[in-house]
Chains A and B, each alone.
Chain A
Amino acid sequence: MDISQYLEIFIDESNEHLQNLNTQILNLESEPENMDTINEIFRAAHSLKGMAGTMGYKRMQTLTHDMENVFSEVRNGNIKVSPHMVDILFQCLDALDEYVNNVKESADEGTNENEPLIRQLNAVLDTPEKAKESAPAEAKEKAGESGDCRKWLEIQLDSAQQHVIKAATEQGKNVFGLTVTVQESCILKAARAFLVFKAVEELGEIIVSNPSAQDVEDEKFDLDFSLIVVADGDIETLKTAAASVSEISSVVGEAIVLDNMAARDKYGETPHEPKPQAAPKVAVEQNTAQAAVTEAAPAPAAEPAGKPAAPKAGDKKQAPGKPVVNRTVRVDIEKLDVLMNLVSELIIAKNSLVSVSNQVQGQNQSVNEQIEYLENVTTNLHESVMKVRMVPIESVVSKFPRMIRDLSKKLDKKMELYMTGEETELDRTVVDEIGDPLMHLLRNSADHGLEPAELRVQRGKPAVGSIFLDAYQDGNNVVIEVRDDGNGIDVEAVKNKALERGAVTPEQAANMTDKEIIDLLFLPSFSTAKKVTDVSGRGVGLDVVKSKIEALSGEVEVKSKLGEGSTWTIRLPLTLAIIQALMVVVGGEKYAISLGTIQTIEDIAPEEIKLVQNKEVIHLRGSVIPLIRLSNVLDVESTKSPEEHLMVVIVKKGDKLAGLVIDDMIGQQEIVIKSLGKYIKQCKFISGATILGDGEVALILDANALI
């Protein structure tokens, strides 16, 4: 079988299952008796095994199989969950993760047999041989079989369907009930089910299915589904046809009759009694039969693919514990990028329209109205597309509890991770990138932040350290905070280190505020860890964090109080592609400044400018704000004479303010951020370019880089 087409699904789903396993095993550790958790683990491990088996990844299958054995014993209450066992299980998950990564890179699982792990797993089992032989999956299947497989008996019929069946019986057709079970290892259940539907439809007509055809198509069924079919042939033909579809484990079916229909509650359950096989019938032309059926019932026979008009069969006990599946489609991220680009083009086109209409003399009222309407639509469209690209940060942060647990063991410190706001959404590209910086910060908190338990007790803190990860949306930004109740940053230690490294001179150091000193931590290769561990402390962490977050147009800040802990705050823009900006003019050139960073715009008389340490500052409402003359920064001549009042845009970065001196202001505009291209190595404070309504290009100033 050519499996390459399923590879992507396999990788996606394996990762999901692995993540799920990680989370659940963590739960298991805290509540070893929780049956729901154990069942969930069992289910995930089992799916993983099935998928690996189908794809032909034998080693992965073997490992999951042995893990499953352990879970099975736990589920049966034969062995108890022990911390040792959880450790082994986590190692197994790591090994599986490695397999999946290998598959991702080379479509091959690699050659690592992980035998020591398997041996350990087997050692956990009380009676390894026994457990190994009775693969629980088979046991489960058998249990299923020994129960009543004739699940079609559970189907409830409404009057229309009963009518169809009756009509068909009168025409001398046979009515059959079928229950089809797919193999547990089947990865594309819906596809298999579809093939069964198709095979059956070639022979007859599906009156009703349970779950409904729609649900089956959406894979909202467990392992089996039932059909009631009207057909000319006999049951064996039907069964053979259905069973000929691959990955179908069993087909059970019998002929049925509707007994004493009139006497029954029309919408109630109708018992179906098996009747002896009917004799071969005179062939009735399919067309007439269908016509009759169409007349008789609203259920359209001409559309046998059967979205039966019937409501979903009442009892849904077929999907026990199956979470409600979101109605979603997987979309290639590239397609979304294309969509986003098109929206950008549209906004540029709209901006041109606006600028053209402004030039036209004697403006037409209705033109303006239409343009406003268009503006409305494009803004909404942009928002919707942006929302489509948003994913909850959960996909990234959900791996952290596991990481903290491992760190806790490795560092021999007791700690707990508390997370809130996992549902906070960010642009997909940002979410993909934010994982590493967050991991750095968490490791940093765990390693440097939290004190050893004895010291904590001495200081009157709880022995178990706490690390908090909070995410929330704040206006057009998303804020992620990593907080710990550890030692905090020792400003003196940082200062001494900085002096030692020659990063600052003693005079500079004496004048630096605590905050400035703490910011030194973000310099490349600056680590205050007394010993380098393999967790953190090589001094590659924080500057990487900073540069990565800045690459995402975000910023990172730290607040710390010695002895009480530190808080790292990451602030990220919601979107990367389209922003609201203020258009300004400097020396005849147009520049855009993101509205998000702008506080106020001030009119300053030249005599208000003071000099502090030879730098121009202004005094504004109680704060001293440094002035940055953009004309100097951008190497252009200001068009204003020195006597004129200055137009100053006050921008904010964290709690720092700065005043950007501009020549003139054009106004607010929605702009699309474009890259300057690979060839121009842009300077730090130009974050990109945008195309204005008149087709001209304007550069975007990054106020954060200027401060």
Chain B
Amino acid sequence: MEEIKVVENNEAASAAITQQYIVVRLGEEQYGVDIRYIDNIVRMQKITRVPKVAPYLKGVINLRGEVIPIMSLRLKMFLPQDEITKATRIIILKLGQYGSIGVIVDEVKEVVTLDEGQIEKVAYDSKDDKMNFIGGIGKYEGGLISLLDFNLVMQERENTP
């Protein structure tokens, strides 16, 4: 599991299968979030701190009567503490077994449609912590988007700070 495995795609066969991603910015990098998980995108609001939890869990917010836990993706991915700006957003994700959870991102940029040919699968790399959350890399208009796999993000919770 040391090397990154590149899966060859048969472009003709997979051209029809497309996936939509919301492109978000975290620091200098761009990440893609599978649109199927996204329930809502809200502006930054007051987060109620919860004592004695992992530092990347920032607390809880009230979203239309529901109490939703908020996670800092930056801290989770070992990036510096969030800088709250006007562009900061909370993306509310609905993840079956974990329920709803909000993640803080620096900016929400656009929605892209990628077909399978534009996605390169990435294998799990135990050396690179950031890589552990990436399900694939999307090539779009010359740029690269790291596609977040939230099942991996969530699973990691036991062994990350």
Contacts and interface: CB of A to CB of B under 8 A. Distances in A.
Interface in A663-686: 674-683, 686
A346 to B, nearest CB: 10
Given A674-B66, A674-B67, A677-B101, A689 B60 contact: yes
Contacts of A676: 50, 60, 67, 69
Contacts of A675: 67
Report, as a range, how many residues of chain B touch the other chain: 20 to 34
B50 A679 contact: no
A680 B69 contact: yes
Nearest to A690: B67
A698 B48 contact: yes
Interface stretch (B32-40, B51-59, B105-113, B133-141): B51-59
Report which residue of B53, B71, B99, B100 has the largest number of chain A beta carbons within 10 angstroms of its beta carbon: B53
B51 A696 contact: no
B41 interface: no
B61 interface: yes
Contact of B60 (A634, A678, A697): A697
B51 A677 contact: no
Contact of A699 (B50, B68, B98): B50
Nearest to A590: B48
A673 to B, nearest CB: 10
B46 A696 contact: yes
B65 interface: yes
B42 interface: no
A2 interface: no
A124 interface: no
Interface string A630-641: 000111100000
A682 B65 CA distance: 19
Contacts of B101: 677, 679
Contacts of A634: 51
B79 interface: no
Report which residue of A348, A635, A636, A676 has the largest number of chain B beta carbons within 10 angstroms of its beta carbon: A676
A678 B100 CA distance: 8
A689 B51 CA distance: 12
Contacts of B157: 679
Contacts of B53: 680-683
B51 to A, nearest CB: 5
B50 A696 contact: no
Contacts of B59: 697
A691 B69 contact: no
Given A676-B60, A680-B53, A686-B50, A345 B65 contact: yes
Contacts of B65: 344-345, 348, 691
A340 to B, nearest CB: 13
Contacts of A683: 50-53
Contacts of B100: 677
A698 B60 CA distance: 9
A33 interface: no
Report which residue of A674, A676, A679, A698 has the largest number of chain B beta carbons within 10 angstroms of its beta carbon: A679
B98 A679 contact: yes
A635 B60 contact: no
Nearest to A589: B49
A344 B62 CA distance: 14
Contacts of A697: 48, 59-62, 67
Interface in B62-77: 62, 65-69, 71
Report, as a range, how many residues of chain A touch the other chain: 20 to 34
Interface in A35-63: none
A695 interface: yes
A675 B65 CA distance: 11
Contacts of A633: 51
A677 B69 contact: yes
Given A686-B51, A696-B46, A677 B68 contact: yes
A677 B61 contact: no
Contacts of A699: 48, 50-51
B15 interface: no
B99 A679 contact: yes
Nearest to A692: B62
A679 B62 contact: no
A677 B50 contact: no
Contacts of B51: 633-636, 683, 686, 699
B92 to A, nearest CB: 11
Given A635-B52, A674-B67, A699-B48, A691 B99 contact: no
A386 to B, nearest CB: 19
A683 B59 CA distance: 13
B99 A689 contact: no
Interface in A688-707: 689, 691, 695-699
A677 B49 contact: no
B154 interface: yes
Nearest to B52: A683
Interface in B133-161: 154, 157
Contact of A677 (B52, B99, B154): B99
Given A345-B65, A675-B67, A689-B67, A680 B60 contact: yes
Contacts of A348: 65
Contacts of A345: 65
Contacts of A681: 53
A682 B50 contact: yes
B102 to A, nearest CB: 10
B98 A691 contact: no
Contacts of B67: 674-677, 689, 691, 697
A682 B69 CA distance: 11
Nearest to B157: A679
A695 B62 contact: yes
Interface in A591-637: 633-636
A678 B98 contact: yes
Contacts of A636: 51
Contacts of A695: 62
Report which residue of A636, A674, A683, A691 has the largest number of chain B beta carbons within 10 angstroms of its beta carbon: A691
B40 to A, nearest CB: 15
Nearest to A349: B65
Contact of B99 (A344, A589, A678): A678
Contacts of A678: 97-99
A675 B53 CA distance: 15
Contacts of A698: 48
A680 B99 CA distance: 11
Nearest to A682: B50
B48 A696 contact: yes
A636 B59 CA distance: 14
A679 B96 CA distance: 11
A589 B60 CA distance: 13
Nearest to A695: B62
Contact of B69 (A635, A679, A686): A679
Contacts of A635: 51-52
Interface in A343-360: 344-345, 348
Given A344-B65, A676-B67, A680-B53, 6 more contacts: A348-B65, A589-B49, A633-B51, A689-B60, A696-B48, A699-B50
Q: What 10 A-B pairs come out closest when comparing CB atoms?
A: A683-B52, A697-B48, A674-B67, A680-B69, A634-B51, A677-B69, A689-B67, A678-B99, A691-B62, A679-B69
21 contacts: A345-B65, A589-B48, A636-B51, A676-B69, A677-B67, A677-B68, A677-B99, A678-B99, A679-B57, A679-B154, A680-B53, A682-B50, A689-B48, A689-B60, A691-B67, A695-B62, A696-B62, A697-B59, A697-B60, A697-B67, A698-B48
